[in-house]
Homo-oligomer: A and B are copies of this chain.
Amino acid sequence: MTTTDRQSTGRFRRPRNAAASRTAILTAARACFSGDSYERVGVRDIATCAGVTAALVIRYFGSKERLFAEALRWDLRDLGLAELLAGDLEQLGARLARYVVLEAPPGPFLTIVRVAPNAQAAALVREITEEEFTVPLARRLAGEHAALRASNVTAMLLGLAVRYHVLQDGPASVSEGEAVVALVAPALQCYLTG
């Protein structure tokens, strides 16, 4: 047990701000999980990066899996997907295309592709992306196969993000980005409003 650990568990030196430690751990987890494969990132790495002990990480989050789930959920909420989904359905294809092509940060998408080949982490990604994006999107869609159409939108956005952030093949200029948006938006809109 290290000094830091004793400080956080001992009677006399409770951490002055548990919320701050929790935030530091989650921030570190987001960086670690987007920077290396799920299987290679250890609780110890995240603890080191957050400046706390591994024991504290486990006390706050229970396990690496649960920390991963919270980190990814935070990642996705920070994308502001709820706001994107909330507006006019007729323009949703254009909003989503513009966001993924020109604005979205790489972190969450890197985290997502880096779960392979861990089946448990892949299951968490499925569950969390569904809850945070695919299901709320499906609720907005009328007509047949809403869930399947929403899943295809998710896959299409993932494909663009992989191209841009994994293959590092983003648009070379804003005008090229705008040309991509102009092509992608109607394809997405096909899934949304037929």
> Contact residues of A with B, CB < 8 Å?
35, 37, 40, 110, 112-117, 119, 122-123, 125-126, 129, 145, 148-149, 151-152, 154-160, 162-163, 165-169, 176, 179-180, 183-184, 186-187, 190-191
Contacting pair A126 B190 (CB below 8 A): no
Contacting pair A152 B180 (CB below 8 A): yes
Contacting pair B166 A160 (CB below 8 A): no
Give A180's nearest chain B residue, CB to CB. B148
Q: How many copies does the complex hold?
A: 2
Contacting pair B167 A112 (CB below 8 A): yes
User: Which of B119, B129, B148, B163 sits near A155, CB closer than 8 Å?
Assistant: B163
Interface centre among A122, A168, A190 (most CB of B within 10 A): A168
Residues of chain B within 8 A of A116, CB atoms compared: 110, 113-114, 165-166
Residues of chain B within 8 A of A190, CB atoms compared: 186-187, 190
A187 with B152, Cβ < 8 A, contacts A115-B166, A159-B160, A162-B162 known: yes
Give A113's nearest chain B residue, CB to CB. B113
Residues of chain B within 8 A of A169, CB atoms compared: 122, 126, 151
Residues of chain B within 8 A of A163, CB atoms compared: 151, 154-155, 158
**Other 18 A-B pairs with CB < 8 A, given A116-B165, A155-B160, A190-B190:** A110-B117, A112-B166, A112-B167, A114-B116, A115-B166, A116-B166, A122-B166, A123-B168, A148-B179, A152-B160, A152-B183, A154-B163, A155-B156, A155-B163, A156-B187, A157-B159, A162-B162, A183-B191
Contacting pair A183 B148 (CB below 8 A): yes
A191 to chain B, nearest CB (A): 6
